[in-house]
Amino acid sequence: MSKKINAFTKFSSAVAEYSGRPVTFALAVAAVVLWGATGPLFGFSETWQLVVNTGTTIITFLMVFVLQNSQNRDATAVQAKLDELILTSAAENEYIGIEELEDHELKRITEILKEHAQDEDDRALHEKITRAVERQPAGRA
């Protein structure tokens, strides 16, 4: 496995890690309190208001992309691990790639699995899953 990680991946991982820490939240609250406390000093001017509005807007805009990148990588890694567990266990290999199914198909599979949690007939489960996943999304074998 390649350990090569590009600069954006390193950056987004670090931002995601640090943004979720309590100290980061405390610093953000302190910044807002400091900004609010300086209001009388600047006469609550439009420029004073613009500083926090612009700053928070820019930070929010950029955080969306950074955190989405981190979430996408995490979801892909978890999916790969789940696929590996399915392949190395007695679980049905048909579950590999079901994240590409339509929402209604995933809901139906979930319903079947909930029913099966109270049912012990594995063969019946296999047949139900096979019927529920009759059509494969484009690009799947």
Tens digit of each residue's pLDDT (9 = 90 or more) over 95-128? 888 888 888 888 888 888 777 766 656 666 667 7
Contact status, residue 133 vs residue 109, Cβ threshold 8 Å: yes
- Nearest-CA neighbor of 13 among 76, 80, 74, 81? 74
Q: 41 and 63: one domain?
A: yes
Q: 59 and 126: one domain?
A: no
Q: 82 and 117: one domain?
A: no
Question: 53-78 pLDDT, tens per residue?
Answer: 999 999 999 999 999 999 998 998 99
pLDDT at residue 139 is higher than 50: no
Neighbours of 113 (CB within 10 A): 14
Domain extent for 114: 99-141
Q: 71 and 112: one domain?
A: no
Q: How many domains does the chain have?
A: 2
pTM over 0.75: no
Q: 53 and 82: one domain?
A: yes
The whole-number pLDDT of residue 140 equals 47
The whole-number pLDDT of residue 117 equals 65
Angle between helices 46-87 and 7-19 (to 10 degrees): 110
- Between CA 31 and CA 140 the distance in angstroms is 50
Q: 29 and 55: one domain?
A: yes
Q: 56 and 123: one domain?
A: no
More confident position, 49 or 90: 49
The whole-number pLDDT of residue 57 equals 97
Q: Helix (H) and strand (E) counts for the chain? A: 5, 0
